[in-house]
Amino acid sequence: MEGAGREAFDVFVSYTHADVEAVEVLQAALEAQGLRVFRDHDQIATFESISRRLEQGLARAKVLLAYYSERYPTRRPCQWELTNAFIAAEALGEANDRILVVNPVATVEHVAPVRLRDQLFPAGDPDAIAAHVARHVAAIDGPLGEQVVRTPPMHGRALLGSDRFTDRYATMWAIYEALHGDDVPIVAGRVASRPAVLCGQGGQGKSLVAEEYALRFGGLYPGGVLWLRALGDQIRGAATASDLAVQVAAYGALAAEVLPDETVAGLSADDLRSHLLAEIADRGPSLWVIDDLASGLDDAAFRAWLPIAPEAHVLITTRGRYDKGSRIDLEVLEGPDAVALLTAQVPPVGDGEEQAAAAVASMLGGHPLALDVAGTAIRYEGSTPYRTLQQRIQESETVVDVLEHTGVELPNGHQPSIIATIGGALDRLEGDGLTVLELASVLAADVPIPVELLRPQDAAVWGTDGATEIQARSRAGLVEVERHGLITRTDDGSWRIHRLVAQVLGHRHPERRPALRTALRTHLLDLLPLPADAAARRDAGSLVDHGRALLQHEDEAAVGPLAVWLGGYELRWGDPAHAVVLAEQGLVAAESTDDGTPASTERLLEAGATVVHVLRVAGRSDEACEIGERLAERGIAELGGDDLRVLRLQHHLAAALATAWRTEEGVPLQLHVAERFRELLGEDHPDTLWALSNHAIDLSEAGDLRGAAELAEQVLVDRVRVLGPEHPSTLTSMSNLACDWAELGRFTDAFELSEKVVAARDRILGPDHLETLQARANLANRYLDLGDVRSAHAIRVEVADARERLVGPDHPDTLAMRLSVAESLEDLGDPVGADEIAADVHRRRRERLGEDHPSTLISLADLGSRLRRRGRRVESRAIEEEVIERRARVLGPNDPATLTATMNLAVSMQDDGELDAAIARYREVLTTRLAGLGADHPDTLWVASNLAAALFEAGDLTQAEQLARSTLESRRRLIGPEHLETLRTANLLADILQQQGAREEAAELGLVVVAGRSARLGPTHPATMAARATTAQRLWDLDRGAEARHLREEQLALVVDRFGPESPEVLDALVGAALVLVDDDDVARARERAEAAFRLHGSSGDDRADLGHVIGVWNGVLSDLVGDHEAASRWLGDHLDALAAVRDADDSLVALGRRLHERLRGDPAGRALAPMPP
């Protein structure tokens, strides 16, 4: 300890040891200014050590300088030092001068009391702070003085405090403000007109807080601290005889201590109070603590306890929720404070002990009594006490079971039994209050409870089924339990019960809990929206958590329907894997009964519909089909084929059949469901339109894209007419139709429709609603269809960030969008960033869903493709083969996903030059898809197109042409001649025909491709420009120079207009346009363009060195043709040999260049009359 002894000090530095390094620098700066500094090194937190520091240092210092970090208010010694300096400074009337604060953080919310925020120094230059402190101290006379260590007389209770007290500094200052006000100096003798009422449940530490306040702020009360024991919940009713007797006893005990020479026997409470007030009237302000005032007292009984005098400050502790006085609610301890109390006696040491301590504190709900009991009992738990206690709690039914019989003793004689402590308040409850609290106790612990949930319409609970009476009794019950402090109201009007209160109730009345849970499950289903509706995410809120809690007792009745609902909810908004577990749990519950009678078919069908849907979406279509077919057969047999529950189950079954590649069964079944709905409910009924909408989706999946789009258009028209243009179902139809149009290549129409959906959902639901975000994700895809990668990427990033904020970083929708972000990021030229995102997505899916989940395998396949694009072909091939093996094992060898993985492997084999192996794989997949989907399905045609390309590359032109031609004819018929897939096949066939020598047909097909891509993708899309360049070359080869020139000139103009004359994209177009001018005998312009192309090649950073040499040789040829032989020699000398060394160089151009160069060297003035190369 520095500066000990009897000397005076200028500055007392108050700090927490965690900030010692910064404080040592500041101390050196202060001492450099000639200031005498007191700084304690020990930082011991016991009451005795704190008192010693106050006496030896603070009382003899002029000012206290607090290094007020965020840790400072959580350290008991710091708050003692600050509080006592504050009291002494107030006594001197110099609070604003005697306390200085250095704040090392940007915010000030942690600084208390509020008035200290006017004395802040930002933690910047220590020398500047020290200089300011020196000037400030120079103007101050004398030390803080004896007021720092003055201890008031204590009556009624020996106030010892507790070294385990976890500092509630904000509560301490709230009590001070309540008793004295913000702006009234204490020395003025004015007091707060109302008592401070400290409210909290049993075991919250109210008495200890009051005791700590009396010790810490005792210097304010020279008249003494007078402690009255009100005996709490031992008192019943209002102003009863027993209550008055307790008052007499409490004031009598206090009077016997304060007035030892007077006879107080037989005096009333009022007389005793008057004698006490008169005795201490001359001492100055006093603090009266009325500890554990009974809850539920009326106004007269409450006031009867209060001492009325100008200098009497009253602090009441109570479990009751009184609105009298200045109420201060004492909450449970949060996070670090809870852990600090738990570990105050035994610090966590060793692997996992700190994490276990935090887990135990959370399991105890931050309840101070439970934390203190556990912290005391932990001394007997062995070498890893916190992990041992955590395991014991996890294995026990309740925390109370573990802590009830520890045999520990708590400070100041506090009751260690949680059941006894909380049970005292429960004993005061009457019928409706107890019912409300029991209902709350079987719900999720520490989760807000909407008031509607506490009103189940169940006669077994209330003894009546009258809705009005139940509502009135529930309201009355809530009033009662709040008055007794057993339940708290949240800011949004919900209610919250502490988990220990709930567990104590369970110990007292276990026989009632099954009936309560059954009633709440049934009632909860009435409150919940449809699980897949957008409203579910917005409106379900805490109801979902309560539903999960009510499912923990699977052997009870009424589990099934709630489990089914939660399964559907988890599928859409939460964890798909958990959704399957819940749905199956619901189905099992629906199939069983308590008395062994046959299960209700109606319940089975309702549960089965959700189970089939959940299993299908989770990638388990075969199981979905098996369950759906079994239940549908039973439903038809018992209820008939036109029962609506049967039809709704068949609706989901049809979707599962289509997903399982049983389209020949699924599509007709969906149509049957739609027709029966139309017959039974009418063609405009929402269920009819729902079935027709899904039938359109089935048609699309079955390959009938035109039929799907036509039906989707009709459904949209009907929904607009029946439901309105902005009904959620209408917007869903609009979104589906946009996707159908995109599949058909109607990109502009699809884009405009998607924009309308986004605008409507944004306006109706808000920009952050999940349905709005899905619409924006679809719009991003439409931007990609139009070639606008930058806009698509920006939207994808926004959607991914919003989903992460709303549903978490690991939600399936968030991860799917992150993978899309990676795709567009790579397209924008950042493969490294894209790979990092993709790897993170795969890691999260693997950890959350498992190695074999379909989504995990999608991201694994994506990683394999990325490795191939990075040139890591061996690793890529290994991943591709692993994906095939896993999908074949999990989904089956003929599952669409397995076949897609096989296709990806075939593409890699083709890319690696393993053409025979690739062709064999293509044929294998094609055979399977022909058998399963038919020749006209889009997936079949995709395989056929790839096989044709592989055959072409292998030199089998005849088979390649036949397959490409038949694929082209099918695509023209099915999706139209201008669909991009049709045009892609036409382009392939043109390449094959060119190679076969059918150059005219190849050129004509090329013109069709150029026109189609211009219309669909735009004239400057890379695919359009590639087709235009190739077709121009083919037309030039056919001596169709005018057409070739037109395409080349068009290409150049379009590229310059879009990218600018100096952009790299102009280079290829400029070269092509130069060559066609030669054929048109416009050699001078051709030379100008060739020279411009060479300059652009150098300035644009184009890394194709061979292209630069090609352009250089052409410049030599063109210079010679216009008579500039010197330039021709220079061009050829610089580039001819380099071009000849390039692999796959144009031999005819090299030969022409050599002949010309030799001629020029022999006859510089001569002309080279060699023919132009093709």
Q: What was the pLDDT predicted at 443?
A: 86
Global pTM reads 0.55
Rg of the chain on CA atoms, in Å: 42
- Whether 169-329 shares its CATH topology with 429-526 is answered no
SS3 441: helix
Q: Which residues pair with 286 in a beta bridge?
A: 312
Alpha-carbon span 391 to 381, nearest angstrom: 11
Q: Does the CA dihedral 112-116-121-127 come out positive or negative?
A: negative
Specify the CATH number of the domain 9-150. Answer: 3.40.50.10140
Query: How far is the CA of 973 from the CAs of 691, 701, 817, 968, 1010, in angstroms?
Result: 27, 17, 34, 9, 20
Specify the CATH number of the domain 429-526. Answer: 1.10.10.10
| Single-letter amino acid, residue 1042 | A
Q: What was the pLDDT predicted at 76?
A: 76
Q: What was the pLDDT predicted at 444?
A: 83
Tokens of 611: 């189970």
Tokens of 91: 């006594």
Tokens of 517: 């849970």
Domain locations in the chain? 9-150, 169-329, 335-413, 429-526, 850-912, 1104-1174
Tokens of 588: 């099992």
Q: What was the pLDDT predicted at 529?
A: 65
Alpha-carbon span 102 to 15, nearest angstrom: 10
| Single-letter amino acid, residue 1005 | L
Which residue in 741, 754, 815 sits closest to 783, CA to CA?
754
Alpha-carbon span 488 to 510, nearest angstrom: 23
Residue 38: phi and psi, rounded to 5, are -105, 120
Q: What was the pLDDT predicted at 181?
A: 67
Alpha-carbon span 30 to 15, nearest angstrom: 15
Say if residues 1156 and 1113 touch (Cβ distance below 8 Å). no
Say if residues 264 and 272 touch (Cβ distance below 8 Å). yes
Helix/strand/coil (H, E, C) string of 501-531?
HHHHHHHHCHHHHHHHHHHHHHHHHHHCCCC
Query: How far is the CA of 768 from the CAs of 139, 343, 542, 570, 879, in angstroms?
Result: 58, 42, 19, 19, 37
CATH topology of domain 169-329: Rossmann fold (3.40.50)
Say if residues 635 and 612 touch (Cβ distance below 8 Å). no
- Tokens 């009709």 found at: 714
- Chain centre distance of CA 790: 25
- Tokens 């929720």 found at: 321
Alpha-carbon span 867 to 836, nearest angstrom: 12
882-890: long-range contacts (C-beta < 8 A, 24 or more apart)? 883/857, 886/851, 886/852, 886/857, 886/860, 887/854, 887/857, 889/852, 890/852, 890/854, 890/857
Alpha-carbon span 670 to 37, nearest angstrom: 86
Alpha-helical runs (H) found in 182-334: 206-216, 241-258, 269-280, 299-304
Q: Which residues pair with 495 in a beta bridge?
A: 449, 489
DSSP state of 145: -
Q: What was the pLDDT predicted at 132?
A: 92
For residue 18, count other CB atoms closer than 10 A to its CB.
Answer: 15
Alpha-carbon span 982 to 155, nearest angstrom: 96
Start-to-end C-alpha separation, the chain: 97
Alpha-carbon span 1129 to 1119, nearest angstrom: 9
As averages over each run of 10 residues, the pLDDT of the chain (1174 residues) reads 63 91 93 92 56 73 92 82 85 84 86 75 83 92 74 78 67 85 43 75 82 84 87 55 71 80 74 82 87 83 84 88 83 80 80 83 78 72 76 71 58 56 66 83 83 81 80 83 77 79 76 83 75 52 78 60 72 66 72 63 81 78 87 90 89 84 80 86 85 82 80 90 86 90 85 93 83 92 87 95 85 89 91 94 90 89 92 92 91 86 92 92 92 84 93 94 95 85 94 94 95 85 88 88 86 80 73 70 80 79 75 84 86 86 76 80 48 36
